[in-house]
Structures are given as structure tokens and as C-alpha cells.
Amino acid sequence: MAGRLRWAAVGGMLLAALLLQVAESRPWYRAATRTWTGNDLAGGLLGALALALAALVLLLLVVGRWGRVVAGTLTIVIGVIGLVGTLDSRTPSAEQLAQAGVAVGEGSASGGAWWAVVGAAVAALAGAVLASTAHLWPARRHRSETSTRAPDAQADPWKAMDAGLDPTAETPSRDAETPDVERDQTSSATR
């Protein structure tokens, strides 16, 4: 269950970044002489938010529990900023319409802004899942932690010797009962 929630949070963040990036290039408002895209109306906000989400996904590779909580909180904030920014700039201002020579009320909104609304909502939801399940993720291993398995004699003979193994043997094993010197003396005495 925790693994699914982890992938749902990361997948939601990536999906939100994709939706916000797509929404920036989609037409949001159409008039007879001009079409405004999300980039024209939101001023590049959505692309910046999409980039920030992608950076947070990469950051999740190296942070611990509290870093994931902070990343989840930032993802929620990104979702809220995207939602407020989208709802605030769905239609061109009167000044933008006048510059294009379009009368107020002459054009109509197209569906591009809804891509941004859905993307922002997905980001906020993914951030909530990430922040609430951060403690369920497996802990990162540090470089100083050693492996619990026996060293491979072929891979690193020095580590095998440090562990008390014979790296020249066919199958390295520990013979704690009789050391090699005693075994050689015993075998020569029985001949």
C-alpha cells in the first residue's frame, strides 16, 4: 500500500507538471482577430510551476523523511499558486483586448485554462499524499553503511581476506575448526 501511494504521489507530480506545461501552450481565449494562449495570459507562470514540480521529483531521490514532507508541502503550494493564477488570468484584461483591437465581450473562452486547473488540482492532491505518507517511504542508505552479506571473493579479494575468507579457494568458506597450518600438518602426518 505504501509503495502504491509513493508512486501515486510521484506520478501525480509528473502528471501535474505535464498538464501545466501543456496548458501554457493551449489557447485560452479566442477573438475574431487574435487567440491568447496560457503563456500570453498567465505570463509564463505555468511553465515555471511545471519546472518546479519536475525539480521536486528529482529532489525526492536524495532527501530523507523531512525533505519529503517539505517537498509535499511545496507541491501543495505550487498547486494552489497554479489554481489561483489560472483562475485570475483565464481571460485577457481590458487593456490586452484594446491592444488587439477587440471589444470587451467579443471573444470567448476556450478550454485551455481547464488543463491548468486540473494540473494544479492534481499537484495539490499529489503534494498532500506525499506529505502525509513521507514516513512510510523506505529510509535511504548512507554511504557509510555496510552490506550485511558476505563479501564476494572474486569481486574484491582484499575484503574477503579481511572477513577471514580464502579468496583463492573454489568456494570461499570459513573453516573455524582447524586453521590451514594445522590442517596441513595433520594431512602430512597421515600420509
Full residue range of the structural domain in which residue 179 is found:
157-189
Domain check: are 29 and 116 in the same one?
A: yes
Grid coordinates in use for 17?
507538471
**Tell me: the pLDDT tens digits for 46-55?**
999 999 999 9
Q: What pLDDT, on a 0 to 100 scale, did the predictor assign at position 108?
A: 76
Output the pTM of the full model.
Answer: 0.67
Residues 171 and 79 in one domain: no
The structural domain count of the chain equals 2
125 and 182 housed in the same domain: no
Residue 173 lies in a domain: yes
Which residues is 47 bridged to in the sheet? none
Inform me whether the pLDDT recorded for 186 exceeds 70: no
148 vs 13, 84, 152, CA distance in Å?
Answer: 35, 51, 12
Q: Is residue 59 part of a domain?
A: yes
Which helix (H) or strand (E) segment is 12 a member of? helix 2-25
* Same-domain status, 128 and 171: no
Query: What's the pLDDT tens digit per position in 14-30?
Result: 999 999 999 988 888 88
28 within domain boundaries = yes
How many residues appear in the chain? 191
Q: Are residues 85 and 127 in the same domain?
A: yes
* 184: in domain: yes
Residues 62 and 106 in one domain: yes
Q: Which residue has better confidence, 186 or 68? A: 68
Other CB atoms within 10 A of residue 55 CB: 12
User: Does 177 have pLDDT greater than 60?
Assistant: no
**Residue % of the chain over a pLDDT of 70:** 79
Q: What is the DSSP string of 30-74?
A: E-SS-EEEHHHHHTTHHHHHHHHHHHHHHHTTT--HHHHHHHHHH
